[in-house]
Amino acid sequence: MTDLEASVINSLCRCKQGELKKGEDSAYRTPIPETEDHAEFFLCGEPPEEPLPPEEVPQLPSRPREGLITYSAEMDLPLNHPPMRSGEVWHLCQEDGKTFEKVILSIHSNGFSISYPEDNHPAMSVAWSPFSLVQACRLHTIQADQSQPWLRLFKVSVFHHGLTHFFATHGAGADTERARWVADVSRALRILTQSLFPSFQLAVFPLPGASWTSTRLLSGYMLLYDDQGVSLVYGELHAHCDSTAGFAAYEDDACKVQVVHLSIDTNTCVSERVGIDCSCFSLGDHHFSTRTCAEKMLWLRAISNVKVKLRHLAATPTPNELRFYRAAVREQRPAEIGTERGMKWPERCM
């Protein structure tokens, strides 16, 4: 083990700020000192019984700090060319919500456009954000479905702006064509989403020298929806302490400037958006998107496990229990993006 690894492990093992005075209740935890944006988390120590493998030794960020990175998410942004796919589909008229018109749908890496073969309407384009989804669907009523038995519907929702467009395929191969369109839109959304992330690995261990991360269970970059657009933040889930747990979002993986701090209790609402390969979820009143659907499921599972412990009034975890919790999260981490040979990280699409 190198001197650097030993110093990092030692810094994780000895939490001086968390030492108890004689006669103090062991459930008591000292709040962290003030950071640039103050929030309270409680120390419970992290003395690993065995040295961490080299790839798991927490590393201080090597890239320069850039501050909070925010991308514009306006719907009228220019679309990237050429389109990934174009073809004829039917589009539900937005004026009456009842009739379908034949259109040319073009899928781009950062949105879609609709043009009309007979030029009876002006073409429209929509630049989507990572807070969008696609899925196969049906019309709103059984009667409406029965009146259009030859159509197979799918919808594209840009819920960042409360916008939904319904499309349909028809004919003998309608089911197959719909599946292809849904897959292509989903792939374009994934390319857009992943292009906004730096290369990183999900982490479960605290940062050396950052005592306020000592109860970390899971951390990693994610996208945050806000009124200004889409912001890249570094999310961090904390183990519970007494009747609450904590979730923090920082400007970057240095974890020095907090953007969001949420307290999680048994009443905190946690939900996900249902769509093909959708990586969006909500925690309280905040909306996040991860790199992949698999990462979203890991975050939801970890948050759910914390809420279960809160619901059953579990005691604040001991250092040994924290080790087991982190080990369980590590085992479920999805494969890292871009590790396959020959894979190229997508260029930024927003």
SS3 content of the chain, % helix, strand, coil (to 5): 25, 30, 50
pTM: 0.79
CATH value at residue 120: 2.30.29.30
Residues recorded for the chain: 350
Query: Using an 8 Å Cβ cutoff, are 183 and 276 in contact?
Result: yes
User: What is the model's pLDDT at position 6?
Assistant: 40
- Number of Cβ within 10 Å of residue 320's Cβ equals 11
- Residue 26: closest CA among 48, 46, 10, 43: 43
Per-residue pLDDT, 322: 94
Burial (Cβ within 10 Å: 0-12, 13-18, ≥19) of residue 95 = exposed
pLDDT score of 138: 81
Beta bridge partners of 107: 85, 112
The conformation of residue 27, written as its DSSP 8-state character, comes to T
Residue 308 lies in a domain: yes
Q: Is residue 347 part of a domain?
A: no
Q: Where among 175, 195, 215 does a domain terminate? A: 195
Q: Which domain holds residue 61?
A: 3-72+198-332
Residue 212 is classified by DSSP as G
Same-domain check for residues 64 and 91: no
Q: Burial level of 341, CB count in 10 A (0-12/13-18/19+)?
A: exposed
Do 170 and 211 fall within a single domain? Answer: no
337 in a domain, yes or no?
no
Examine the domain organization and report whether 238 and 316 are in the same domain. yes
Residues 203 and 190 in one domain: no
- Same structural domain for residues 169 and 242? no
pLDDT computed for residue 310 by the predictor: 96
Per-residue pLDDT of the chain (350 residues; tens, 9 = 90+): 444 334 333 333 333 333 333 344 433 333 334 444 444 444 444 444 455 666 566 666 655 667 899 999 999 999 999 999 999 999 998 877 778 899 999 999 999 999 998 777 889 999 999 999 999 998 766 776 666 777 899 999 998 888 999 999 998 899 999 999 999 999 999 999 999 999 999 999 999 889 999 999 999 999 999 877 999 999 999 999 989 999 999 999 999 999 999 999 999 999 999 999 999 999 999 999 999 999 999 999 999 999 999 999 999 999 999 999 999 999 998 876 543 333 344 566 66
- Same domain? For 66 and 207 the reply is yes
My answer on whether 146 and 236 are in the same domain is no
CA 19, CA 4: separation in Å to the nearest integer? 25
Would you state the torsion angle of the CA atoms of residues 337, 192, 190, 150, taken in this order, to the nearest 10 degrees? -170
Q: What SS3 class is residue 291?
A: coil
Count the neighbouring beta carbons within 10 Å of the beta carbon of residue 345: 12
Report d(CA 35, CA 22) in Å as an integer. 28
**Same domain as 117, residue 208:** no
Same domain, 309 and 168: no
Structure tokens at 36: 């640039």
In a domain, 7, yes or no: yes
Token pair of 47, please? 């003395």
Is 146 part of a structural domain of the chain?
yes
For residue 244, the 8-state DSSP code is B
Element (H or E) spanning 308, and its range? helix 293-311
Same domain, 323 and 181: no
Give bridge partners of residue 70 from the DSSP assignment. 231
My answer on whether 46 and 158 are in the same domain is no
**pLDDT on residue 98:** 77
Angle at 300 (CA atoms; ends 241, 335), nearest 5 degrees: 115
User: What pLDDT, on the 0 to 100 scale, is given for residue 300?
Assistant: 97
Indicate whether 92 belongs to any domain.
Answer: yes
How many domains are contained in the chain? Answer: 2
